[in-house]
Structure 1
Amino acid sequence: MHILFIGYGKTSQRVAKQLFQQGHQITTVSRSAKEDDFAEHLIQDIHQLDLSQVQPIDAVYVLLAPARHAQFNAVDAYQHTYVDSVQPIVQALARHPIQRLIVVSSTRVYGEHAGERIDDDTVPQPIDEQGMLLLEMEHRYSQAFPAECVIVRPSGIYGTSTTRMQKLAETTHRYPNIHWSNRIHIDDLAKFLCHLLHVEHPEKSYICTDNKPQPLHERILDLQRAMHLPELVLESEAETGKKIYATRMMESGFKLAHD
Structure 2
Amino acid sequence: MASILIAGCGSIGCQLGQQLAQEHTVYGLRRTTEYVPANLHAIEADLNHKIEQLPDEIDYAFFMPTAGKYKDSAYYNAYVLNLKNLLNGLQDKNIKRLFFISSTSVFSQNDGEVVNEESPTDPHSFSTKRILEGEELALNSSTPTTIIRLGGIYGPGRTHLIDLVREGKAHCMEDVWSNRIHSDDCVGVLAHLLNLDVSGAKLENIYLGVDCEPSLSCEVYSWLAEQLSVPEIEHMEPTENSRLMRSNKKISNARLLESGYEFKFPNYRLGYTDLIENETFE
Change beyond 3 A, Cα 1:176–1:210: closer
Deviations 1:120-175 (A, max 9, x none): 221222322211111110000111135x1000001011112364223321324753
Task: For residue 67 of structure 1, report the CA deviation from its aligned partner.
Answer: 2.9
* Structure-1 residue corresponding to 2:98: 101
* Structure-1 residue corresponding to 2:31: 31
Q: How does 1:40-55 map to 2 (within 5 A)?
A: 40-52=41-53, 54-55=55-56
| 8 Å contact from structure 2 (residues 146, 203) kept in 1 | yes
Give, as a single letter, the amino acid of the residue that structure 2 aligns with 1:152. I
SS at structure 2 position matched to 1:144? coil
Deviations 1:7-37 (A, max 9, x none): 0111111211121112x11112101123422
SS at structure 2 position matched to 1:125? coil
Change beyond 3 A, Cα 1:138–1:247: same
* Structure-2 residue corresponding to 1:215: 216
Q: In 2, distance between residues paired with 1:257 and 1:205?
A: 21
* Structure-1 residue corresponding to 2:58: 57
* Structure-1 residue corresponding to 2:127: 130
Q: In 2, distance between residues paired with 1:186 and 1:196?
A: 16
Task: For residue 232 of structure 1, report the CA deviation from its aligned partner.
Answer: 2.7
What TM-score comes out, normalization by structure 1 length? Answer: 0.90
| 8 Å contact from structure 2 (residues 68, 74) kept in 1 | yes
Change beyond 3 A, Cα 1:194–1:49: farther
What TM-score comes out, normalization by structure 2 length? Answer: 0.83
The answer to whether the aligner puts 1:159 opposite 2:155 as a matched pair is yes
Task: For residue 75 of structure 1, report the CA deviation from its aligned partner.
Answer: 2.3
Structure 1 residue corresponding to 2:109, chosen from 103, 108, 112:
112
Which stretch of the first structure deviates more once superposed, 12-21 or 227-236? Answer: 227-236
| 8 Å contact from structure 1 (residues 168, 220) kept in 2 | no
| 8 Å contact from structure 1 (residues 173, 231) kept in 2 | no
Structure 2 residue corresponding to 1:243, chosen from 246, 250, 253:
250
Deviations 1:56-101 (A, max 9, x none): 1111000111134xxxx52221112111222211111111020010
Give, as a single letter, the amino acid of the residue that structure 2 aligns with 1:214. S
| 8 Å contact from structure 2 (residues 60, 96) kept in 1 | yes
Give, as a single letter, the amino acid of the residue that structure 1 aligns with 2:42. H
Aligned residues: 253
SS at structure 2 position matched to 1:46? coil
SS at structure 2 position matched to 1:175? strand
Give, as a single letter, the amino acid of the residue that structure 2 aligns with 1:126. P
| 8 Å contact from structure 1 (residues 182, 211) kept in 2 | no
* Structure-2 residue corresponding to 1:252: 259
Q: In 1, distance between residues paired with 2:170 and 2:47?
A: 44
Change beyond 3 A, Cα 1:80–1:50: closer
Aligned residues: CA RMSD: 2.0
SS at structure 2 position matched to 1:81? helix
Deviations 1:209-252 (A, max 9, x none): 10211111221111222233221343327875111111210110
Unaligned runs of 5+ in 2: 267-282
Q: In 2, distance between residues paired with 1:173 and 1:17?
A: 35
Q: In 2, distance between residues paired with 1:175 and 1:56?
A: 49
| 8 Å contact from structure 1 (residues 58, 97) kept in 2 | yes
Unaligned runs of 5+ in 1: none
Change beyond 3 A, Cα 1:163–1:4: closer
| 8 Å contact from structure 1 (residues 86, 137) kept in 2 | yes
Q: In 1, distance between residues paired with 2:114 and 2:65?
A: 27
| 8 Å contact from structure 1 (residues 67, 80) kept in 2 | no
